[in-house]
Structure 1
Amino acid sequence: MKLNSIGLSAEKSGELSEDLNQLLANFQIYYQNLRGIHWNIKGKRFFELHPKFEELYNGANLNVDEIAERILTLGGVPQHTFKDYIENSKVPVGKNVTKDEDAIRLIVDSLKELLVIERRILDASDESGDEGTNSMMSDFITEQEKTVWMMKAWLAEEI
């Protein structure tokens, strides 16, 4: 088995890089959705939601950078064009979302898609002994599950 510079299977690292690129594409759409709802939110909850959406997009931006850097660490090349992101994303695109409940549902729906991808990467990274990717996915999952719970509580819906 050929090992890469960090002692992991070069083949498995290549596969994980592809999975991480899919996650990167989805995170970029999620990030842009958050920017859009931050800019466009209207209504009586504006002062509550506007800063919350900013907090979320700042966090998503940090995650995007971590994902891209992990792809590079594994020897891959991070996707970096909007065309790539759109072609490889399953996160719903939110356009002209101005209502509070629609915005929160977009976040929940987006995180649901991200969590599916992250759990798949978590399993694959565990199988290949890639603790760096595994730890990153575990952290993302923990954070996003909590966000989903909070958003569902805001909507007064069961998890």
Structure 2
Amino acid sequence: MSNLNNIGLDKEKSEKLSKKLGELLASYTVFYQNTRGYHWNIKGKSFFELHIKFEELYNDLFVKIDDVAERILTLGFTPEHRYSEYVSKSLIEESVKVTDGEKAVDEILNAFKALISLQREILDLSDDAGDEGTNAMMSDYISEQEKLVWMYSSYAHKQ
């Protein structure tokens, strides 16, 4: 029993899972800030529709950032909070000032591709650890984001 954390999961497996969740936290944080930039700086004919969609997206990312950090805490570890660490660990690179809607949508689709792949990795780890809480979270995120990929791809005529 000494190898179990407070929620009854193997400590070693939880630590491995926590590190991957830390990558996800970093990636979500960079993606969040990129999306804020798209929202602020978008120009052109699709301003009105994209401005609203980007706001919806960054509001959703804001909630997910908190959820992931709290999941790391639930597993018994400390989430990173320094932006410099997020930038170095993120699978998503910081975006340069983007004013073009098509470029922003392309960057969003690339970000989702990276996030979904990482979340599938976390899903495998959480399954192996018997961690239903993280498993359910990743399943929900993947399902939501696959639909968003379809929607953004349809908007960009990429599907």
Deviations 1:69-126 (A, max 9, x none): 0000000110100111011012132111001100100100011111111000000100
Q: For the residues of structure 2 that align with 1:142 and 1:38, how far apart are their CA atoms?
A: 24
Structure 1 counterpart of 2:34: 33
81-90 or 63-72, which moves further after superposition?
A: 81-90
Structure 2 runs not aligned, ≥5 long: none
**Any residues of structure 2 matched to 1:14-29 within 5 Å, and which?**
14-29=15-30
* Pairing of 1:107-146 with structure 2 (within 5 A): 107-146=108-147
**TM-score w.r.t. structure 2 length?**
0.97
For the aligned residue pairs, the C-alpha RMSD in angstroms reads 0.8
In the alignment, what sits opposite 2:155?
A: 154
In structure 2, C-alpha distance between the alignment counterparts of 1:52 and 1:151, rounded to whole Å: 10
Task: Write the distance in 2 (CA, Å) between the matches of 1:99 and 1:87.
Answer: 26
Asked if the contact 1:92/1:106 (under 8 Å) is kept, the reply is: no
The whole-number CA distance in structure 2 between the counterparts of 1:113 and 1:68 is: 19
Q: Is the aligned partner of 1:69 residue 2:70?
A: yes
> Residues of 2 paired with 1:19 and 1:100: CA distance?
31
Q: Which is worse superposed, 9-18 or 67-76?
A: 9-18
Cα offset, 1:153, TM superposition = 0.3
Within 5 A, what are the aligned runs for 1:55-94? 55-94=56-95
Over residues 1-57 of structure 1, what are the superposed CA-to-partner deviations in whole Å (9 max), with x where a residue is unaligned? 611110111111111110100000000000001000000000011111101100000
**Take 1:8 and 1:108, find their aligned partners in 2: how far apart are those partners?**
34
Q: TM-score, length-normalised on structure 1?
A: 0.97
Aligned residues of 1:29 and 1:85 also touching (Cα < 8 A): yes
Dislocated runs of 4+, deviation >4 Å: none
| 1:97 corresponding residue in structure 2 | 98
* SS of alignment partner, residue 17 of structure 2: helix
Q: Does the aligned pair in 2 maintain the 1:92–1:109 contact within 8 Å? A: no
8 Å CA contact 2:87–2:94 kept in 1: the answer is no
Whether contact under 8 Å (1:104, 1:151) holds in the other structure is yes
Counterpart amino acid of residue 30 in structure 1? F
- State the secondary structure of the residue aligned to 1:148: helix
For structure 1, the residue ranges without an aligned partner over 5 or more in a row are none
Corresponding pairs, count = 158
